[in-house]
Amino acid sequence: MNVDAMNAPQEVVLSVEGLRVYFRNEEEVARAVDGVDFEVRRGETVCLVGESGCGKTVSALALLGLLPRPPGEIAGGRVRFCGDDLLDRDEEALQVVRGRRIGMVFQEPLTSLNPVFTIGEQIAEPLRVHLELPESQIRQRCLQLLHDVGIDSPEQRLAAYPHQLSGGQRQRAMIAMALACGPELIIADEPTTALDVTVQAQILSLMNRLQHAHDMSVLYITHDLGVVSQIADRVYVMYAGVIVETGAAQPVLRNPRHPYTRALLDSLPNRRKRGRRLYSIPGSVPHPAYKPAGCPFHPRCPRAIDACREHFPGMCVFDDGQVARCPVAAGRKLTDWCRS
Amino acid sequence: MSPETTSRAFGLEEPAAPKRTRFEEFWRLFRRNRMALAGLVIFAFFFGSAVVGWVLTSGNRPLFDPALVRLQEKLRPPLATPQATSLKPEERPVGGRYLFGTDDLGRDVFARMLQGAWVSLTVGFVAVGISVAIGIFMGGLAGFYGDRRIRLEQLLVTAVLLAGASLLTAGWRASGAWMLVLGHAWLFWSISPWGIRCRKSLPAGLRFLRKNTLMVDTLIMRFVDIMLCFPSFFLILTVVALLPASIYNIMIVIGLTSWEGTARFVRAEFLSLREQDFVSAAKALGVGNLRVIFRHMVPNAIAPVLVSATLGVASAILTEAGLSFLGFGVPPPHATWGNILSDGKRFIFDAPWLTFIPGAAILIVVLSFNLFGEGLRDILNPRLRERQ
Amino acid sequence: MLAFIGRSVIQKIVTLFFVSVVSFAIIHIAPGEPSQVDPLNPKFTPEMVERFRQAFHLDRPLYVQYAFFYRDLLTGNTVSWKDNQPVLHKIGERFFNSLPLFIVGTLITWTVSFPVGIRSAIFRGGAYDRSATLLSYVLISIPGFFFAYMLIIFVVGQFQVPVIGMQTFGMTDTPWFFRLNDRLWHMLLPSMLGATGGIAVLSRYVRSQMLEVENQDYVRTARAKGLPWEMVHYKHALRNALLPFVTMFGLILPGLIGGSVIIESIFSWPGLGRMAYEAILARDYPVILTINFIAAVLVLIGTFVSDILYVIVDPRIRL
């Protein structure tokens, strides 16, 4: 954890402004991502947290141009990576960024690795395509990568097929693939969700170590607040396609301002709540094509007032620098409720 | 946060995705699939004209008589008006024109096409009905009761009965009848109270009869393998050629030789459904096997069967047309699209309509079934649906 | 691996035995006997019929006939009832007439279906995909004999070349290249017709396999690695989509006999399918049964080859 790095002003590696991703069919428009802003600075770990279906994975896929189109479409916003706009780029120009400057690790390592190629072949591909190394060096580099991600006897693993590895080893191989060209940013989409808790801890510490060793930024997508508290420098909480709260990880987790973040934390079991009934958020996540008017969380919100039904709340800065999309919690007057 | 406050907050009217019944959902997806919709429309038209054609061409004095020979009016092109003045009033075509022309015997091709439409329709549906029924039965047996074992005595009784039946049909009356009687006697004895009592104290020498042999699944699937070893059109042709010419034989033979695909689908579907929680739940509630099968499993397995049945109708119509074309099957005076074409091929340069009208009709009808079936497959396939 | 091979060989032999029983039973239990085919033929006196029945063991019980028949078949001594020719010899002759049609047809099928299906899948929903889809439905639905006549009218009308039979009558004295040209023209239509159904079915199948694979996570991974478009589709996706087709190499073998009856009789092509058709007309049981037996053997060999191939190509299957 890199708390004190927070204070120094740092170069912004990735900035996303007002990103909107819609899924359209003849009858309805599902607004999966509905105006999302976030940024990742050099060397920091940023977590994007939210329930499944809130649009976190879609945002990540959209910024690399990996959305299936149609039905998905990017309806607006800007994605800047080290200064240049990624959304303007065509497929070919994106290929230079993908894998080389931004590495991606997916959730399900078994299905994300191609079953008919060896691990070695799959790790070697980005090296061959982006760095155009000679074959002899590629092999050396692959061995080094496998060693870096903690796979033992890398010589044999190079020739193994994905189904011959364990879940944890597969995810390590995925990470090796993402690391291959020394990217500036790694986007990890729930990389530990499919793994056992013990393996999860190993993978998390591995990522942490690699991040410092290579001075990378990490955008880590998860639904697990436990993971957030372990690795995040800063955190963005998403609900129904919008960011509802953001700030440095520890303050947000210790003192959440948005009712949704609070509800999420309340529904986690911990030692203090022992013996008491665990809280659960009433209702369910709204269908992305039929979101309520006003604040998207208001039907489930214990603090909702009438105004929440009509006005979409803007981001409100709290005294300690935390930011949340809840004027009620911030004690604002109705007149301040314009969109930020 | 007390329950009251949350429930009040929750009570705010919440916009939700519109609820749709399964059928509405199906119809919504179906309307978007233009090719499938076209298939359905053509099929409806074909169905209507087959039924109307059946009414108009049958009976003693049909409006359109497909068998009426007018030798002086042979090979008249479509839309021609009758020439010969010698025609009796009842021999003149309806509307004063031969809509589709006449053939080499001066028969009205339109009337013959109408009659043939009914043949194609019934052959398609009856044959597929037979094959789907057998397929569901065999596949269901293999999928649901597949792990039961068959006892040796059961195999023996079946063998004796089968041998008896085949001997009887092959002309060895006496021995065949004897074997049938023997087999049935054995059957009745074994289910009678006396037989059941005897079963428990079987002499050691006969105990091998109660030995378990094959699994039901093995038996059925090996049988499917055996059936698949026959090239299907060749097999149908052989059997149809050996049997007396009749449209019912064609339906039965096509039905009996094309159930393997359905059986495999149903078996695979049943095997996976059987492991699902809702089936275990139903069983845990003490629901009987038959009810589990028909109430819980068949509705879930029906989608692929429906698709393969629709495609099966298409291929049955094609097979029947092929058989008629080769001169097998429906006996001559009765018209089918295949034999209109087959008769017309001799006049292919003089009277091309005799080839093109039935050919195009078969093409369009078969195409409509194929489009409809493929559309169904796309709609019913959940994996494809998600992508929409 | 050896155990797998051994087990499946035994299984196939057992299946073959039952196929032989079933086909024999179907043929012999059906009403009518070959000796009654032509009751008006004056040569068929009752004594002739009796001699005939004795010569072919028709007066013996069925199981004895079965034993006799398959003994003859396996030792290669079966003779046709129609002309007393050895059946295997006749079949061999016809086989080499059918073989070129089969090979050309299969080559056309595979070389057309794959590019069409793959392209359809990659550009799904586009104009190319939709027209290819509609065309393949038309090709599946068109009756082979109708299509044959349309093509005959077209080719004969446009190019003035004869297309019926294997070669033009009286061409034997002409130089070899004329004969070759003639043979090729005669082969063109039947092999194309043989291929149409295959193209339609196979290209649809290729398309659906490819679509299935294109939606897999590993294709997304390949794109996320920044691989060029061609590598994503033609390496990562195609390699996986091809797996099931390896098994189809084995399954095309039986097509050698099954699909050609109608086409060969329209074009008067003296091949296996036409021979089968003639044998059925004449109730020449030995020929029918032998062809059927060979077809079954081909099916079984085909599935066997497919199984083995699949084990070899798919790294996930280990025996």
Which of A287, A295, A297 is the best substitution to test chain B (most B C-beta atoms within 10 A)? A287
pLDDT at C145: 87
pLDDT at C33: 59
Q: Is C220 on the interface with A (CB under 8 A)?
A: yes
Sign of CA pseudo-dihedral B119, B124, B130, B131: positive
The model's pLDDT over A168-219, given as tens digits with 9 standing for 90+, comes to: 888 888 888 888 888 889 998 888 887 788 888 888 888 888 888 888 899 9
The alpha carbons of chain A give a radius of gyration, in whole angstroms, of 21
Q: Is the ipTM of this complex over 0.85?
A: no
Tell me how many residue pairs between chain B and chain C have CB atoms under 8 A apart. Answer: 136
Nearest to B5 among A25, A289, A302 (CB): A302
Cβ atoms C144, C262 nearer than 8 A:
yes
Give yes or no for residue B384 having a pLDDT over 70.
no
All partners of chain A with 3 or more CB pairs under 8 angstroms: B, C
- Which residue is closest to B7 within chain A, CA to CA? A282
Of B104 and C12, the one with more pLDDT = C12
CATH code (residue C269): 1.10.3720.10
DSSP run (H or E) holding A324: strand A323-324
The answer to whether the Cβ–Cβ distance between B5 and A309 falls below 8 Å is no
The answer to whether the Cβ–Cβ distance between A95 and C227 falls below 8 Å is yes
Q: Is C221 on the interface with A (CB under 8 A)?
A: yes
A90: confidence class by pLDDT, cuts 50, 70, 90: confident
Q: Terminus-to-terminus CA distance in chain B, angstroms?
A: 41
CATH code that applies to domain B29-68+108-385 = 1.10.3720.10
The model's pLDDT over C18-46, given as tens digits with 9 standing for 90+, comes to: 888 888 888 876 665 555 555 555 556 66
Token couple for A164: 């011959």
Q: Is C167 on the interface with B (CB under 8 A)?
A: no
The model's pLDDT over B229-277, given as tens digits with 9 standing for 90+, comes to: 888 888 888 888 888 778 888 888 899 888 988 898 888 888 888 888 8
Host domain of residue C99? 91-279
Tell me how many residue pairs between chain A and chain C have CB atoms under 8 A apart. Answer: 79
Cβ atoms C66, C75 nearer than 8 A:
no
The model's pLDDT over A269-287, given as tens digits with 9 standing for 90+, comes to: 777 777 777 778 877 778 8
Determine the distance in angstroms separating the CA of B147 from the nearest CA of chain C, rounded to an integer: 19
> Which C residues 266-305 touch B at CB under 8 Å?
276-277, 280-281, 283, 288, 291-292, 295-296, 299-300
Is residue C16 a part of any domain in this protein? no
Domain end position, chosen among A180, A202, A224:
A180
Q: Is B383 on the interface with A (CB under 8 A)?
A: no
Nearest to C223 among A66, A111, A174 (CB): A66
Token couple for A91: 């497929």
pLDDT at B382: 59
Cβ atoms B149, B215 nearer than 8 A:
yes
The model's pLDDT over B294-330, given as tens digits with 9 standing for 90+, comes to: 887 877 778 888 888 998 999 999 988 888 888 887 7
Of the listed ranges A5-19, B109-123, C304-318, the least confidently predicted one is A5-19
- Which residue is closest to C312 within chain A, CA to CA? A116
pLDDT at B36: 85
CB neighbour list of residue B171: distance below 8 Å, 6 or more residues apart = none
Omega of the bond leading into B331 within 30 degrees of 0 (cis): no
Percent of chain A whose pLDDT exceeds 70: 94
The answer to whether the Cβ–Cβ distance between A291 and B15 falls below 8 Å is yes
Q: Determine the Cα–Cα distance for residues A8 and B355; give it in Å rounded to an integer.
A: 86
Percent of chain A whose pLDDT exceeds 90: 2
- Which residue is closest to A288 within chain B, CA to CA? B17
Is residue C185 a part of any domain in this protein? yes
Is residue A120 a part of any domain in this protein? yes
Token couple for B47: 């169905």
Determine the distance in angstroms separating the CA of B384 from the nearest CA of chain A, rounded to an integer: 13
B133: confidence class by pLDDT, cuts 50, 70, 90: very high
Structurally, chain A folds into a number of domains equal to 2
The model's pLDDT over C154-167, given as tens digits with 9 standing for 90+, comes to: 888 888 777 777 77
What is the average pLDDT score of chain C? 81
Determine the distance in angstroms separating the CA of C222 from the nearest CA of chain A, rounded to an integer: 8
Strand duo A234-239 + A242-248: pairing = antiparallel
- Segment B85-109 mean pLDDT: 73
Task: Print the SS3 string covering B99-153.
Answer: CCCECCCCCEHHHHHHHHHHHHHHHHHHHHHHHHHHHHHHHHHHHHCCCCEEEHH
The answer to whether the Cβ–Cβ distance between A302 and B1 falls below 8 Å is yes
Q: Determine the Cα–Cα distance for residues A283 and C259; give it in Å rounded to an integer.
A: 60
Give yes or no for residue B158 having a pLDDT over 90.
no
Is residue A48 a part of any domain in this protein? no
B128: confidence class by pLDDT, cuts 50, 70, 90: very high
pLDDT at A1: 42
B8: confidence class by pLDDT, cuts 50, 70, 90: very low
B130: confidence class by pLDDT, cuts 50, 70, 90: very high
For residue B6, the chain A residues in CB contact (below 8 A) are 282, 302
Give DSSP secondary structure letters for C25-93.
HHHHHSS--GGGS-TT-TT--HHHHHHHHHHTTTTS-HHHHHHHHHHHHHHT--B-TTT--BHHHHHHH
B18: confidence class by pLDDT, cuts 50, 70, 90: low
pLDDT at B3: 41
> Which C residues 118-137 touch A at CB under 8 Å?
125
What is the average pLDDT score of chain B? 79
Determine the distance in angstroms separating the CA of B99 from the nearest CA of chain C, rounded to an integer: 21
Burial B84-118 (b: 16+ CB within 10 A, else e): eeeeeeebbbeeebbbbbbbeebbbbbbbbbbbbb
Give yes or no for residue B125 having a pLDDT over 90.
yes
Give yes or no for residue C4 having a pLDDT over 80.
yes
Cβ atoms B334, B119 nearer than 8 A:
yes
For residue A193, the chain C residues in CB contact (below 8 A) are none
The model's pLDDT over A45-71, given as tens digits with 9 standing for 90+, comes to: 999 998 887 888 888 888 888 887 777
Which among A147-161, C165-179, C250-264 has the top mean pLDDT? Answer: A147-161
Is residue A317 a part of any domain in this protein? yes
- Segment C288-295 mean pLDDT: 87
Is residue A242 a part of any domain in this protein? no
Give yes or no for residue A5 having a pLDDT over 70.
no
Percent of chain B whose pLDDT exceeds 90: 8
- Backbone phi and psi for residue A161, each to the nearest 5 degrees, phi listed first: -90, 155
The answer to whether the Cβ–Cβ distance between B9 and A290 falls below 8 Å is no
Of the listed ranges A106-110, B110-114, C73-77, the least confidently predicted one is C73-77
Is residue A279 a part of any domain in this protein? yes
Of the listed ranges A47-51, A296-300, B341-345, C29-33, the least confidently predicted one is C29-33
Give yes or no for residue B12 having a pLDDT over 60.
no
For residue B234, the chain C residues in CB contact (below 8 A) are 257-258, 261, 276, 291-292, 295
C74: confidence class by pLDDT, cuts 50, 70, 90: confident
The answer to whether the Cβ–Cβ distance between C221 and A95 falls below 8 Å is no
Token couple for A23: 């899924």
Host domain of residue A148? 115-180
Give yes or no for residue A327 having a pLDDT over 70.
yes
Nearest to A163 among C223, C227, C316 (CB): C316
User: pTM of the entire structure?
Assistant: 0.80
For residue A27, the chain B residues in CB contact (below 8 A) are 28
Is residue C80 a part of any domain in this protein? no
Q: Determine the Cα–Cα distance for residues B166 and B342; give it in Å rounded to an integer.
A: 36
Of the listed ranges A69-73, B361-365, C106-110, the least confidently predicted one is A69-73
B354: confidence class by pLDDT, cuts 50, 70, 90: confident
